[in-house]
Amino acid sequence: MTDYTAPLADMRFALTEIAGIGEIATLPGCEQASEDLVDAVLEEAGKLAGGVLAPLNRVGDQQGSVLENGVVRTPDGFKEAYRHYVEGGWNALPFAPEHGGQGLPIAIATAVAEMWNSANMGFALCPLLNIGAVEALTAHGSPEQQRLYLPKLISGEWTGTMNLTEPQAGSDVGALRSRAVRAGDHYRITGQKIFITYGEHDMADNIVHLVLARLPDAPPGTRGISLFVVPKFLVNADGSLGPRNDVRCVSLEHKLGIHASPTCVLAYGDGGGAIGYLVGEENRGMECMFTMMNNARLNVGLQGVAIAERAYQQARDFARQRVQGKPVTATAPGTYPILHHPDVRRMLLLMRTETEAMRALAYCTAGAIDRARHHPDGEVRATQQRRVDLLIPVVKAWCTDLGVEIASLGVQIHGGMGFIEETGAAQHLRDARIAPIYEGTNGIQANDLVGRKLLRDRGAAARELIAEMRAVEAALACRPAEDLVALRRPLATGRDALERATGWMVEQGEADPPRALAGAVPYLKLLGTVAGGWLMAKGALAAEARLEARTGDAGFNAAKLATARFYAEHVLPAAPGLLPGVTGGATIMGFDLERF
C-alpha cells in the first residue's frame, strides 16, 4: 500500500477560494482562524495522518478488532495512535471553549477530518461518532449532562456512540423495541442494538452511548422515541468513574471492509437494566438524534472524498512505476510507465477532478455551517442554514457514491495487481463500500432532499444555489482565457437541466409524491454533478486570477484550470442525460410488482 501525503495545497485552496475561510475568520467566535494558524493546523494534522495513522491502515485491515471475554481489542498500534490524537488536542478542534474546545471553524475541522479518513478510515470512525455525540449533548443535554460528559468527550478522553439500529428495525427507526422504564431520576434501559460503531473498544476510559428507546406509555412510531445517555461506566457527581453499567458487547460483525472499526452488537439490561438519563424531552428523541445524524452525514460524505483521495494517490504512484506496453505517444525505443497511456491518464484525471469537486462541495457546506452559526445577520444565518440543509444529503450521497466509483477505478488502473490484496488498492474499495449505506442509505438521502428539503420551501434554497451558478457563468463570460471559455457552455447546460429538474420536482412532489421520489436519486446526482461543476469553475476563476497576479504556485494554478476544464468536458456533459431519469418515475411506479 502506498504512503499517504495530505494534499495540503488543494486543501488550502478549497478552504480559501471555496469555503471562504478568510471571510469566516472575521465572524464572531471565529477570529482565531488566521492564515498562519490554518497553515499550522493543516501541517501538523498532515504529519499525524501520514506518519502515524496511515501506516496502521493495512495493519488494521489485516488484524481487525477482536472480542475477547467481553472486551474488544483494537489492532496493534491503535491505542497508542489514539493517545497521540488526544494529546494533540485534535478532537477538541471545532467545539466550544467553555467545555474545553478550541472553537475553530467547522471548515478547518472538515479539512483535518478528511486527513484522518484518508489515512485510516477504520481509525477515523471513532472520533467521527464522538463528534456527533458532542453535537447532540451540546444542543440538547441538560447543564448537568454537559458538565459531566462534554469536557471528556471534547478532549477525546471518552468517546461517544449513536445507538439507533436494531435487528428488526434498520432504517425504520420507528420500529425499534428497546424499552426505557422510569426509575426515579433515571431510567432503566433494556434491549439490543446492532451495527454500533466503536460501541466497545480499548482506546478510551469510558464510552458514552446515546441510545434511542421507547417508554412503556409512548405513542407508536417515531413520535414515541426518546433519547438517553447511557455511559459504559457510570459517572459520579465529581466526574470520576463509578461502577460498570449494564451494557455489554455480545458480538462483532464480520464485514467487507473497515475491519479495524469494531461494529458491535450491544445488549442493554441483561442484569436488570442499564441506567440511562433522558436527553431533552420524553418522546422527542428523534429531534435530538437528528442533530447527531446530520453531523455524521456531512462527515460520512467526507469519507467519500477521503477514500477517493487515498485511492487516487495509490493509483497515481502505481502508474508512475508500472511498466507495461509501449504507449502510442512514445517517440523513442524503450519501456515506459503506464502513466503514458492515454486511457490511464484519462482515468487518473477523472479520479483527480471528481475528488477535487467533492472536496469543494464538502468544504463549501462546512463553510455554510460556520456562517449559519456565527454570522451576526439573522437573515444571512437563515439563508446559510437553508444551504446547509439542502447540501447535506448531496454531500453524503453524491460523495460516497463517487468514492466507491473512484476506488474501483483505482483497482482498474492497477490491472490484475489491483485484485491482489497485497497492493492495497482493494482495501480502499472494500472500505469505501459501506459509506453509501450507513447514516441513512443514499436512497434515503435522495428522499430527504426531495421530500423534505426541496418541498419544504418549494425549491427556494435550490433556486438561491442556481442563482449563484448563474453568477459564475456571468463571470466566465467576462474572461477571455481559453480554459475559462471552455467551462461556460457545459456549466450553463448542466445548470439549465438542474433548473428544469428542480421545477418539475417541486410541482410533481406535491401532485404525485411517489413519482417524484422515484426520480429522487437521479435528481440528487444531477444536483451534485452540477454543483461540482459550479465550484470547479469558481476555483478556476480564482486560479486564473492568481496566474494573472503572479501569486502562488504557477504550476498548481495552471493545474486547477486544467482539472476544471476536464470536469467541464468529461463530467458535466452527463448532467442533462440525468433529466429523463428524474422525470421518468411513471415507468418505475407502473411496473407490475409481481414481475420482479
DSSP, residue by residue, 280-309? SSTT-HHHHHHHHHHHHHHHHHHHHHHHHH
Catalytically annotated residues: 439
Fold match flag (8-155 vs 159-284): no
Residue type, 81: A
Q: What is the largest CA-CA distance in the chain?
A: 84
Residue type, 584: G
Query: Is the domain 159-284 a CATH 3.40.350.10 member?
Result: no
Phi, psi of 209 (to 5 degrees): -90, 130
Instruction: Return the bridge partners of 277, or none.
Output: 229
Any idea where the domains of the chain sit in the sequence?
A: 8-155, 159-284, 448-588
Grid cell 475553530 — which residue?
A: 104
Q: Do 294 and 392 form a contact (C-beta atoms < 8 A)?
A: yes
pLDDT in tens, the chain (596 residues): 779 999 999 999 999 999 999 999 999 999 999 999 999 999 999 999 999 999 999 999 999 999 998 899 999 999 999 999 999 999 999 999 999 999 999 999 999 999 999 999 999 999 999 998 999 999 999 999 999 999 999 999 999 999 999 988 877 777 889 999 999 999 999 999 999 999 999 999 999 999 999 999 999 988 999 999 999 999 999 999 999 999 999 999 999 999 999 999 999 999 999 999 999 999 999 888 787 777 789 999 999 999 999 999 999 999 999 998 888 888 888 889 999 999 999 999 999 999 999 999 999 999 999 999 999 999 999 999 999 999 999 999 999 999 999 999 999 999 999 999 999 999 999 999 999 999 999 999 999 999 999 999 999 999 999 999 999 999 999 999 999 999 999 999 999 999 999 999 999 998 999 999 999 999 999 999 999 999 999 999 999 999 999 999 999 999 999 999 999 999 999 999 999 999 998 899 999 999 99
Rg of the chain in Å (alpha carbons)? 24
Looking at the whole model, is its pTM more than 0.75?
yes
Residue type, 511: A
Q: What is the CA 224 to chain-centroid distance, rounded?
A: 29
Which CATH code is given to the segment(s) 8-155? 1.10.540.10
